[in-house]
Amino acid sequence: MNTLARVAATSGAAERRVGGPLIAWYALLVAGLLLGLYAFGYQWANGLTVTGLTNAVTWGLYIVMFMFLVGISAGGLIVVAGAELLGTHRFEPLNRLAVIVSGTAIAAAAVSILPDLGRPQMAWQMIVSPQLMSPLVWDMGVITVYLTIAAIDLWILTRPRPMAKALRVMAIVSLPVAVLVHSVTAWIFGFLVARPFWNTAILAPLFISSALVSGTALVLVVAAIVRRVSSWSLPDHVFADLGRLLAWFVAVDFFLLLAEFVTAYTSQTDYHLAPLEMLFGGRLAPLFWAQITLGVAVPFVVYVVPALRRRTSLLVAAATLSILGVFAKRVNILMPGMYEPQVSLAPGIPLGRPGQGFGIDDLYVPSWVEYGVVVGILAFSAALITLGVRRWVLPADPDEAARP
Amino acid sequence: MLGTLLAGADPNEGIAAPVERTSAIEALPAASRAWGEIDTRSDAPRWGMLVDTERCIGCWSCAVVCKSENDVALGMWWNRILTEGSGLDTPSVDDHGRLGMAWLPLACQHCDDAPCEKVCPTAATYTNAEGIVLVDADKCIGCRYCMAACPYGVRVFNWGEPEKAPGVGEGMVQARPVGTVEKCSLCVHRIEEGQQPSCVVSCPAQARIFGDLDDPDSHINRVLADRGGSKLLKEKGTNPKVRYLPPRRRRSL
C-alpha cells in the first residue's frame, strides 16, 4: 500500500478511494504513456523514417487517429448542447462525464497531430506565420475554440449552483462551432483536387454523422464502465435513450456513405471506380466489410430493437462495435485516397529512403513506432478521462460535503 | 489570386532562393556558360518549361544531373522519367498489338494555381515574383499536406537524415534538413545567374525548352505558338507552367 492509497483510505471518501484495481489501471496508463513518449522520442531523434510512411503514402495511422479523435469529441455536445436545445433533461446526469470525454478527445486530437509533423519543434510556425487559405490553419483555430468551449462548459457544470442560462448560451454557441470542427476536418481532405475519392461535397456531412455515432457511443461506453466500477448511480433509461439516438446516427451515417458510393459507382469513371474496387474487393475489402457488418449492421440491430436496446450489456457491446466501425471507416476514407496517384506511370513515385526505389501503390504497414505513439495517445486520453471523472463526476467526499 | 493575396506579406517575395548557393556558376567554362544562357527575358519574367516528348529518349540524364545539381539525397528524385508501359523499360502495347515506347519526364509543374501552396499552413511553399513555386525549408513544419495536395506526386520528404552516395560531393545548393518537404526549384539559383535549369542544359536530345512565358520573343513562346503544348492533368485546374508537346508520330519498335 503506498502513501497515496493510505491517505485516500483514511479520508473516508467512498468513491475516490484508490484501491488495488485503480492502482493497476493507473500503472497500465503510465506504462502506455511511457511507451508513447519513448516511441515519439525515438521518432524525434531519427525522423519519420522510423514510420511505415513513404512519399506515396504520406499520411497514415497518425492522421487516422487525428480524424477519429476529432470525430469522437462530438459526444459531449450531443448530450449537453443537443439536449439543451431540444429541451430534454434525459441526459442531465451524463452532462459532466460527456463534457470530460469530449474535451479529452479534442485535446488528444490536437496532440496527435504533433507526431505526424516532420519537425514538431517548428509547429509554432503555424501561429506566427499562418497561411490563411489552408484548412489546416482553420482547423487549428476551430479546435482551439472547441477546446475552450469544453472547458467553459465543464466550469459551468461544476459550479455549486446550476447556471441554466449560461448553459443555454453555451449550447447555442457550441453547436455551430461543432459543425465547423467536423466540417473543417473533412475539408482538409475534401478540398484536394489531387484525391478524387476525398474531393466530394459529402465528406463534411459524412464526418459530422460519423462524429455523432462515435461520440455518442463513447459516452455510452465510458458511462457504463464508470457505473460498473463505482457506485455512481445512473438510471438505465439513459443508456436506452442513447441507444435510440445511436440508431438514428448510424442510419444517417450509413445513408450518406451509400449515397456517395452509389453516385461514384454509377459514374463508371476510372478515378471513381478504382478506390471503390479497393474497398469492395481489393486490399481494403476485409476491413471495409468488417466495418459494414460488425461496425454498422450488427450495432444497428441492437439499437433499433427495443428488447435488445434495453439490455445495457448488449448496448455497450454494440456501442464498442460502433466506435471500432467508425475507426475502420476513417482508415477506409484515408487509404483509398492515398493509394491513388493521379500520374501512375512506371516506375512511380520515389518512396524516399535510400535503397527503397519507386512505387505506385505499395502497401502501407504502420511501424511499431506509430503503434507505440497511438498507445501513448490512448493512455493519455484514458488518464485524462479517469482523473476528470474521479474529480467531477463521482459523488463528492461525504466528509468534505459535511464541512461548512 | 493567391499569389496577389500573399504579395507583400511574404518576406521571401522576389527571386531569392530558399537555399544558399554553395558553389559558383562563374566557375564553369565559358562554353558551358554560353550554352546554358537564358535566351531572352521580359521585365517581369514568368518562367516556364516545354518538354517535347517526341524528342525524349528516356535516358534519365536530366534526372541524374538534377540530383547532383540540387544535392538530392539517396532515395529521392526531384525529376524522373516515367514510362508509358508496364515497367521502367517495358514497351506499351496499343489496341492493334503494336509495341511503343514513350516517356513522360516529370518534375514540379510550377502551377499558376498551385494546390500545394494553397494548403501549406505556414506559407513555406510560395510562388516567387517570377512564377517559380518554391519551398522555404526554414518555415516547413513537415506536415506533408502539400504532398497530399499535389496531383503530380512530385514532392519528396526527408524521412531521415539526408544520405548521399559515397564519394559524391556538394551540389550547387544547400541540403534540406530532415523532416522537410522538397521539390524541383526550376534551378532558381541558376536562373539568378542567367542560366537555364540543369535538366534543360544536360538533355542530350534537346527535348526541353526553358524560357519566359511572358516574353513573346522567347524560344519557348515561339514553339508554343507553332506546336501548341498541353498541360498535364489539365482538368485539375492547376495551370502548370510546364507544358508538354505530344509526339507527332508513333515511335515504333
Mean of pLDDT values over B118-128: 97
Domain that holds residue B7: 2-163+171-245
Mean of pLDDT values over B54-72: 93
Q: Does residue A346 belong to the interface with chain B, where contact is any CB pair within 8 Å?
A: yes
Mean of pLDDT values over A41-53: 97
In a domain, B251, yes or no: no
Q: What is the pLDDT of residues A299-339, one digit of tens each?
A: 999 999 999 999 999 999 999 999 999 999 999 999 999 99
pLDDT beyond 50 at A361? yes
Mean of pLDDT values over A151-168: 92
Q: Compute CA distances A397 → A19, A26, A185, A234, B198, whole Å.
A: 15, 21, 41, 18, 75
How would residue B108 be classed by pLDDT, with cut points 50, 70 and 90? very high
Q: CA of A135: which chain B residue's CA is closest?
A: B119
Where are the domains positioned within chain A? 28-395
Residues 6+ apart with CB under 8 A from B33: B25, B195
Q: How many domains does chain B have?
A: 1
ipTM over 0.85: yes
Query: What pLDDT score was predicted for residue A19?
Result: 77
Compute φ and ψ for A356, nearest 5 degrees. -85, -20
Q: How far is A43 from chain B (nearest CA, A)?
A: 10
Q: Does residue A199 belong to the interface with chain B, where contact is any CB pair within 8 Å?
A: no
Q: Does residue A133 belong to the interface with chain B, where contact is any CB pair within 8 Å?
A: yes
Q: Please, which residues bridge with residue B49 across strands? A: B210, B242
Query: What pLDDT score was predicted for residue A8?
Result: 42
Q: What is the pLDDT of residues B17-27, one digit of tens each?
A: 444 544 567 77
Nearest residue, CB atoms, A131 vs list B84, B123, B177: B123
Q: CA of A121: which chain B residue's CA is closest?
A: B141
C-alpha to C-alpha distance for A175 and A169, rounded to whole angstroms: 10
Nearest residue, CB atoms, A350 vs list B76, B123, B144: B76
For residues B34 and B51, which has the higher predicted lDDT (pLDDT)?
A: B51
How would residue B251 be classed by pLDDT, with cut points 50, 70 and 90? low
Q: CA of A56: which chain B residue's CA is closest?
A: B153
Look at strands B103-106 and B125-127 and give their pairing.
Answer: unpaired
Q: Please, which residues bridge with residue B230 across strands? A: B244
Query: What pLDDT score was predicted for residue A398?
Result: 45
- Flag if B75 and A346 touch (Cβ within 8 Å): no
For residues B12 and A236, which has the higher predicted lDDT (pLDDT)?
A: A236
Write the class of the CATH domain A28-395. Answer: mainly alpha
Determine what percent of chain B is predicted with pLDDT higher than 90.
70
How would residue A116 be classed by pLDDT, with cut points 50, 70 and 90? very high
In a domain, B145, yes or no: yes
Q: CA of B180: which chain A residue's CA is closest?
A: A118
Mean of pLDDT values over A267-296: 96
CB A156 within 8 A of CB A163: yes
Helix/strand/coil (H/E/C) assignment for every residue in chain B:
CHHHHHCCCCCCCCCCCCCCECCCHHHCCHHHHHHHECCCCCCCCCEEEEEECCCCCCCCHHHHHHHHHCCCCCCCCCCEEEECCCCCCCCEECCCCCEECCEEEECCCCCCCCHHHHHCCCCCEEECCCCCEEECCCCCCCCCHHHHHCCCCCCEECCCCCCCCCCCCCCCECCCCCCCEECCCCCHHHHCCCECCHHHHHCCCCCEEEEECCCCCCHHHHHHHHHCCECCCHHHCCCCCEEEECCCCCCEC
Q: Which three cell numbers stand for residue B32?
A: 558551358
Nearest residue, CB atoms, B153 vs list A188, A341, A346: A341
Query: What pLDDT score was predicted for residue A399?
Result: 45
C-alpha to C-alpha distance for A115 and A372, rounded to whole angstroms: 11
The three-point CA angle B15-B16-B17 to 5° equals 110
Query: What pLDDT score was predicted for residue A159?
Result: 92
The mean pLDDT value of chain B amounts to: 88
In a domain, B153, yes or no: yes
Grid cell 501552396 is found at B117
- Flag if B160 and A46 touch (Cβ within 8 Å): yes
B234 burial (CB, 10 Å; 0-12 / 13-18 / 19+) is exposed
Q: What is the pTM of this model?
A: 0.91
Query: What pLDDT score was predicted for residue A84?
Result: 86
For residues A221 and B100, which has the higher predicted lDDT (pLDDT)?
A: A221
For residues A12 and A323, which has the higher predicted lDDT (pLDDT)?
A: A323
Q: Does residue B236 belong to the interface with chain A, where contact is any CB pair within 8 Å?
A: yes
Q: Which CATH number belongs to the domain containing residue B240 in this structure?
A: 3.30.70.20
How would residue B86 be classed by pLDDT, with cut points 50, 70 and 90? confident
Query: What pLDDT score was predicted for residue A396?
Result: 64
Determine what percent of chain A is predicted with pLDDT higher than 70.
93
- Flag if B155 and A55 touch (Cβ within 8 Å): yes
In a domain, B14, yes or no: yes
CB A99 within 8 A of CB A81: no
pLDDT beyond 90 at B117? yes
CB atoms within 10 A of CB A276: 17
Query: What pLDDT score was predicted for residue A18?
Result: 65
pLDDT beyond 90 at B15? no
pLDDT beyond 50 at B14? no
Compute φ and ψ for A274, nearest 5 degrees. -55, -50
Query: What pLDDT score was predicted for residue B247?
Result: 84
The three-point CA angle B230-B231-B232 to 5° equals 120
CB A47 within 8 A of CB A377: no
Q: Does residue B93 belong to the interface with chain A, where contact is any CB pair within 8 Å?
A: no
Helix/strand/coil (H/E/C) assignment for every residue in chain A:
CCHHHHHHHHHCCCCCCCCHHHHHHHHHHHHHHHHHHHHHHHHHHHCHHHCCCCCCCCCCHHHHHHHHHHHHCHHHHHHHHHHHHHCCCCCHHHHHHHHHHHHHHHHHHHHHCHHHCCCHHHCCHHHHCCCCCCHHHHHHHHHHHHHHHHHHHHHHHCCCCCCHHHHHHHHHHHHHHHHHHHHHHHHHHHCCCCCCCCCCCCHHHHHHHHHHHHHHHHHHHHHHHHHHHCCCCCCHHHHHHHHHHHHHHHHHHHHHHHHHHHHHHHHCCHHHHHHHHHHHCCCCHHHHHHHHHHHHHHHHHHHHCHHHHCCHHHHHHHHHHHHHHHHHHHHHHHHHHHCCCCCCCECCEECCCCCCCEECCCCCCCCHHHHHHHHHHHHHHHHHHHHHHHHHCCCCCHHHHHCC
Considering only CB atoms, which chain A residues are within 8 Å of B122? Answer: 125-126, 129-131
Compute φ and ψ for B7, nearest 5 degrees. -60, 140
Q: Which three cell numbers stand for residue B103?
A: 516517356
Q: Which three cell numbers stand for residue B161?
A: 537524415
pLDDT beyond 60 at B185? yes
CB B149 within 8 A of CB B110: no
- Flag if B179 and A46 touch (Cβ within 8 Å): no
How would residue A403 be classed by pLDDT, with cut points 50, 70 and 90? very low
